[in-house]
Structure 1
């Protein structure tokens, strides 16, 4: 049985070692971050708040959590931070607990327009018992239509209690300042889900939702932010008690202290390397999008230079749809995901029009604009059957063999080696 478990794990490492990882919601951590996963913190509970735990033995866990809060405030310039949520959805649910009551209405981006499932009635918002309205969406510019939103809110008998911003397909900054004005006019709060772009926010390469007036910012910490899989909530000081109570006892008990230590280490890395890393991510996304466009692909928003984030969206209807394309590319060693686009029916989620590409992980491996153009050519070879799949896979394996080291960290390390515990 042990041999089977080792085999599965090693095979997984080999898969990613010789593939091009382009999932927009994933990243690879440094050894500096991973080291903390193996600490004794992983055996312990720290239920409660700093200095007010329900168990003994939490002295250094208190110190760690306080340090993680301090680092978060320094990195993002927020008034208050809660570092206990263990996932992005958990953070969103905690914020809904803090800001709403069951039966309240919120307004968010629909899933076909790029919204995250947790912002909709069939996920976290529904668990809280919220009614969900959707923003009018400007499909050409892949963003929220502010003027149409103003008109919609004016006509609503029951005004939204929360305006949810941020998305899962997130190409451009959202109009935070403009919608803060609309929200505050009707007594609503603005919640910004920065999960996908947290690393870009930290690196000053996207937008700063806190400075633009968002009341609450939630985010997972493992997408453009190269930390472990957990989350953070930042908010205005006046909401601190509500947010903290929404987290504990609302949706979190023990909050996985070992990965919290890893998050603190990732914050330290981003304070040192975040600007260079975030800048290269955006440059890479633009280069990949432009090359795909030049090769004849229907890349969204060419008039806006395709993207200002880590993501590229492509309509691949002419190549069999998102599901077919994602599976074909996977067979060649290119890993990305199918994605609904605004003109898709949610009922067709199994094979939507689009694919979503994220470049944050390959950027962490040291790839730059020239490599993005090479990746575009690999995609083109696969989708236009220019070479047999086996040949493309071998070329990708050779290409990837030059990019197996984690960069933008204090001590470069192998990205996909299965670590040995001595």
Structure 2
């Protein structure tokens, strides 16, 4: 009896250590965030034990009386937040949402235009990702390395020459708005659908501080819900298209790429949407302000932050070429040893470079903003980072400085209530 109890306790101990590590570290991963206490509460509900295949009020399971009301409410909040006629909260991740759109709007061998990986494109849009598995003919837009965005004239020429069925915009390195307005006439001339992957910037769009894709030419937006939108690890599809196209997308989601849709995380998403309606504009603006401040400080202290001529960034993300400090892998690992968590990343010069050893790093400010970092705190962080990279401080001393700085920031902001998101919550006694 209880033969494997020690294994279970080992897993629990790892979870506690993980929480403690992040409580003492400064998180700068551009694709992560922390939830509010009310959103976290939803993850512990009985919703997490149940199934609800299909659309509200058209289920294949019984017991969905309150689930239908929940999903109706989440859809209502999503439509309101994004000023959209259509909203589907069922995808369980951003890539799952992407796959739903791919299944709904394309057929194998059809042509799609998409950003290249070295130009910040997401891995699901690579030839070895979801687009490739669908058997699509992928054409990449030309990329302007100096401005760190899609080359508008080159993209227009590419779309007119290749005449794709679908044009995808949206990136993992998403510094500036995509040129939807500039290319809208081209989309209409070719007759293609336009898909915007807003995973990284969904919170900035919700806060009206980035761009408004649905008003600029996008038919659908996909996204994960845990980056600048500070919710659970889940997904969504937002639409502003004709009913026939929307039905194709919804069939692509179910039964195309999922069955049940993780009802507890959908509930947490609903809480997050409501909080963003109340606090999203202030939160989004502060994220961007902190990103620009961090970029400016790092650049002034000697880091080669990209897109300097455009002010470095208009989003939560900044990207730097760190070859003079040993490259992305070495820098990311060195900073991690000092309790600063970010990731190595491909940059435009890395067209033929191994993605495990790229030239750059990617930094995001959405989580530190969520826990209360102001501009002066961001400047202090930049100084510590550069002391580490210039070997002007021991790693032991740097770790101490990082922990001291982080110790002041353990409460979630821009939400209902407050809590320490890094605290381990014990249920088993």
TM-score (norm 1): 0.98
The within-5 A match list for 1:153-192 is 153-156=159-162, 159-192=163-196
Contact 1:93 1:128 in 2 (8 A): no
Pick aligned residue for 1:394 from 395, 400, 405: 400
Equivalents in 2 of 1:153, 1:287: separation in Å?
Answer: 36
Matched residue SS, 1:309: coil
The C-alpha deviation readout for 1:277-306, integer Å capped at 9, x for no partner, is 001000000000000011011111111111
Equivalents in 2 of 1:323, 1:232: separation in Å?
Answer: 32
Q: Is the counterpart of residue 131 in structure 1 residue 151 in structure 2?
A: no
The within-5 A match list for 1:42-121 is 42-121=48-127
Equivalents in 1 of 2:247, 2:103: separation in Å?
Answer: 12
Contact 1:285 1:310 in 2 (8 A): yes
Pick aligned residue for 1:35 from 34, 41, 47: 41
How far apart are residue 397 of structure 1 and its match?
0.7
The within-5 A match list for 1:225-264 is 225-238=229-242, 239-264=245-270
How far apart are residue 152 of structure 1 and its match?
2.3
* Aligned residue pairs, count: 420
Contact 2:219 2:241 in 1 (8 A): no
Pick aligned residue for 1:317 from 323, 335, 357: 323
How far apart are residue 384 of structure 1 and its match?
0.7
Paired residue for 2:28? 22
Equivalents in 1 of 2:14, 2:129: separation in Å?
Answer: 31
Contact 1:340 1:346 in 2 (8 A): no
How far apart are residue 346 of structure 1 and its match?
4.1
The within-5 A match list for 1:220-369 is 220-238=224-242, 239-369=245-375
Contact 1:338 1:351 in 2 (8 A): yes
Equivalents in 2 of 1:124, 1:67: separation in Å?
Answer: 31
RMSD after superposition: 1.0
Equivalents in 2 of 1:149, 1:249: separation in Å?
Answer: 34
Equivalents in 2 of 1:345, 1:401: separation in Å?
Answer: 40
Equivalents in 2 of 1:237, 1:322: separation in Å?
Answer: 41
Contact 2:95 2:124 in 1 (8 A): yes
Equivalents in 2 of 1:296, 1:64: separation in Å?
Answer: 51
Contact 1:50 1:62 in 2 (8 A): yes
Equivalents in 2 of 1:154, 1:276: separation in Å?
Answer: 40
Pick aligned residue for 1:414 from 413, 416, 420: 420
Between 194-203 and 411-420, the greater mean CA deviation after superposition: 411-420
Paired residue for 2:3? none
The C-alpha deviation readout for 1:191-230, integer Å capped at 9, x for no partner, is 0000000000011110010111201100110000000001
Matched residue SS, 1:115: coil
The C-alpha deviation readout for 1:9-40, integer Å capped at 9, x for no partner, is 11000110000000000000011101000100
Structure 2 CA distance for partners of 1:93 and 1:346, relative to 1, 3 Å: farther
The C-alpha deviation readout for 1:26-73, integer Å capped at 9, x for no partner, is 000011101000100011000111111111111111111111100000
Equivalents in 2 of 1:237, 1:52: separation in Å?
Answer: 22
Equivalents in 2 of 1:152, 1:403: separation in Å?
Answer: 47
Equivalents in 1 of 2:209, 2:181: separation in Å?
Answer: 17
Contact 2:220 2:240 in 1 (8 A): yes
How far apart are residue 180 of structure 1 and its match?
2.6
Between 147-156 and 199-208, the greater mean CA deviation after superposition: 147-156
Pick aligned residue for 1:373 from 363, 372, 379: 379
Equivalents in 2 of 1:417, 1:65: separation in Å?
Answer: 29
Q: Is the counterpart of residue 207 in structure 1 residue 211 in structure 2?
A: yes
Equivalents in 1 of 2:52, 2:9: separation in Å?
Answer: 34
Equivalents in 2 of 1:37, 1:43: separation in Å?
Answer: 10
